[in-house]
């Protein structure tokens, strides 16, 4: 194989465990001209706030940003669905020259009157950040007139990375927190932060906690309601699932309302179990919670183990590659894959930080590639070289895996079945199994398919 060229500026972002000295260079901006899999500030704020279902989400800018984020999130609602529409001020050239604030006011005003949302989020995109529309003033005016919170989400794409978008979303949510009545909130109450109810996962998790006797006060933001966000400061504990997006909000709430937080993950058996016991441990004054947590764990494990063992038998010894958004999810996935008897030969993330990668290094086996902000060329090269049987990633990674002729499992926005919790672990195993074992891989054109030699690199 021809040697893979890696951009000078990216050399420090690829590491092979056991071979290279480890000082992974991460948290840096993508090099200009790199084919990065990363997105922008707007994307970050949009994915976090999107699942707030009874709020209006109006994208202030040219049409693209609204069009590309129209109902692609897969986050389920048990009630309102205002969030699933695509509303845009659709700025034109003339607005860019003379300013779009007036258009924004009109659009938002009409929409609020029509849909009567509980709150409105106005996303300012690149161009608005540039032409300097006073979105803050429009929001203030609308808040007063319409008697609902109208919040400016400062999400000009160029102002940073997706992570900065998460921060902008947290700041927007923080404006709602603390404005509701908390007198009726039960004492053993938690908020779940960074769980977006993709394919209904929040419902699974909520059920576990409820069975433990813990009240889930607000899920931020899965199947989210503005009223829940307003009351979020009434919880005793914040449980942070997607650390990358929501730690910032947890920190704000700790400072402002003295609510402690713990980091958990709902993916894989170990992490899911810890997520329940850690909450029980927090409420140690009530030992029954811990007891009931044990029952939940036992019941759920009993229900899935036979199925899981069958998958394990088939998948044992197969190899997996991971490329995910945040690195925290990668740990859970590595552990989950080990439960299935699978080895991880590549672990990468779009936005991991130094600590994440240090931890990844510890947990990975020798020979595994650890990679930050990868491009498709690098991904495909290492997947092929390390002979992975499955790639776990998101929408842009799927066809890469398929072209190479290996399985794929979506662990991002597009998953259609829940992968969190115990039932989710079984689903995950089933997804990986059906993809890895698909008979289609036997149809991939090989040297002997037509009885002739075909050169393969």
Please state the closest distance from residue 200 (CB atom) to another protein, in A.
16
Q: Which is nearer to another protein, 304 or 392 (CB)?
A: 392
43 binds another protein (CB under 8 A): yes
Q: Give the Å distances, CA to CA, from 447 to 114, 363, 381, 387.
A: 63, 37, 20, 18
Please state the closest distance from residue 336 (CB atom) to another protein, in A.
25
Report d(CA 154, CA 172) in Å as an integer.
9
Please state the closest distance from residue 306 (CB atom) to another protein, in A.
34
37 binds another protein (CB under 8 A): yes
Residues of span 392-451 touching another protein by CB under 8 A: 395-396, 398-400, 402-405, 444-446
The 337-376 site mask, x for binding another protein (CB under 8 A), equals: ---------------------------------------x
Q: Give the Å distances, CA to CA, from 204 to 133, 272, 309.
A: 42, 11, 22
For another protein, which residue of 16, 38, 141, 314 counts as binding (CB under 8 A)?
Answer: 38
Residue count of the chain: 457
Please state the closest distance from residue 189 (CB atom) to another protein, in A.
31
For another protein, which residue of 24, 55, 66, 249 counts as binding (CB under 8 A)?
Answer: 66
Q: Which residues touch 69 (CB under 8 Å, ≥6 apart)?
A: 43, 46, 50, 59, 86
Please state the closest distance from residue 272 (CB atom) to another protein, in A.
29
Nearest residue to 303 (alpha-carbon basis) of 389, 424, 163: 424
Report d(CA 314, CA 389) in Å as an integer.
13
Please state the closest distance from residue 237 (CB atom) to another protein, in A.
34
Q: Which is nearer to another protein, 300 or 373 (CB)?
A: 373
Q: Which is nearer to another protein, 28 or 303 (CB)?
A: 28
Instruction: Give the gyration radius of the chain's Cα atoms.
Output: 23
Q: Which is nearer to another protein, 176 or 199 (CB)?
A: 199
Helix (H) and strand (E) counts for the chain? 17, 14
Q: Which is nearer to another protein, 365 or 385 (CB)?
A: 385
Binding-site size for another protein (CB under 8 A) equals 82
Q: Which is nearer to another protein, 6 or 437 (CB)?
A: 6
86 binds another protein (CB under 8 A): yes
Q: Which is nearer to another protein, 46 or 292 (CB)?
A: 46
- Structure-token match 């840096």, residue found: 28
DSSP H or E stretch at residue 113: helix 101-115
Report d(CA 336, CA 133) in Å as an integer.
47
DSSP 256: H
Q: Which two tokens stand for residue 445?
A: 């054109």
Cβ contact 311:340 at 8 Å: yes
The 123-162 site mask, x for binding another protein (CB under 8 A), equals: ---xx-xxx-------------------------xxxxxx
DSSP 2: P
For another protein, which residue of 26, 91, 259, 308 counts as binding (CB under 8 A)?
Answer: 91
Question: What values do phi and psi take at 58, rounded to 5?
Answer: -115, 120
Spatial strand order in the sheet of 215-221: 215-221, 189-195, 237-240, 261-263
7 binds another protein (CB under 8 A): yes
Give the interface segment with another protein, choosing from 101-109, 200-208, 259-267, 301-309 (CB under 8 A).
101-109
């Amino acid at each position: 194989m021809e040697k893979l060229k890696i951009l000078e500026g990216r050399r420090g972002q690829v590491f092979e465990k056991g071979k290279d000295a480890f000082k992974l260079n991460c948290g840096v901006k993508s090099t200009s001209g790199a084919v990065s899999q990363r997105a922008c500030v707007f994307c970050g704020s949009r994915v976090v706030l999107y699942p707030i279902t009874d709020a209006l989400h109006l994208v202030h800018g040219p049409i693209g940003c609204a069009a590309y984020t129209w109902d692609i999130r897969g986050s389920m609602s048990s009630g309102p669905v205002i969030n699933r529409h695509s509303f845009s001020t659709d700025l034109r050239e003339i607005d860019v020259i003379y300013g779009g604030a007036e258009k924004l006011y009109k659009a938002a005003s009409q929409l609020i009157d029509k849909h009567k949302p509980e709150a409105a989020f106005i996303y300012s995109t690149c161009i608005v950040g540039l032409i300097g529309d006073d979105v803050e003033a429009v929001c203030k005016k609308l808040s007063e007139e319409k008697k609902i919170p109208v919040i400016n989400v400062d999400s000009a794409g160029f102002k940073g990375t997706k992570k900065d978008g998460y921060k902008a979303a947290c700041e927007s949510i923080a404006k709602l927190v603390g404005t509701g009545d908390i007198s009726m909130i039960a004492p053993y109450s938690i908020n779940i932060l960074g769980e977006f109810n993709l394919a209904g996962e929040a419902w699974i998790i909520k059920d576990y906690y409820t069975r433990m006797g813990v009240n889930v006060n607000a899920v931020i933001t899965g199947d989210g309601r503005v009223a829940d966000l307003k009351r979020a400061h009434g919880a005793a504990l914040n449980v942070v699932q997607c650390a990358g997006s929501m730690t910032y909000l947890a920190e704000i709430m700790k400072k402002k309302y003295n609510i402690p937080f713990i980091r958990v993950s709902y993916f894989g058996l170990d992490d899911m179990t810890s997520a329940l016991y850690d909450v029980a441990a927090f409420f140690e004054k009530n030992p029954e919670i811990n007891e009931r947590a044990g029952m939940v764990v036992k019941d759920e494990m009993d229900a899935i183990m036979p199925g899981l063992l069958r998958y394990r038998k088939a998948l044992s010894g197969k190899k997996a590659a991971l490329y995910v958004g945040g690195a925290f999810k990668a740990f859970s996935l590595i552990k989950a894959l080990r439960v299935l008897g699978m080895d991880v030969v590549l672990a990468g993330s779009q936005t991991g930080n130094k600590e994440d990668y240090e931890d990844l290094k510890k947990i990975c086996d020798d020979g595994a590639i650890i990679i930050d902000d990868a491009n498709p060329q690098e991904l495909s090269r290492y997947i092929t070289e390390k002979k992975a049987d499955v790639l776990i990633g998101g929408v842009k990674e799927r066809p890469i895996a398929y072209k190479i002729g290996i399985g794929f499992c979506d662990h991002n926005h597009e998953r259609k079945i829940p992968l969190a919790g115990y039932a989710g672990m079984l689903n995950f195993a089933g997804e990986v199994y059906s993809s890895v074992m698909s008979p289609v891989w036997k149809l991939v054109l090989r040297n002997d398919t037509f009885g002739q030699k075909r050169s393969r690199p």
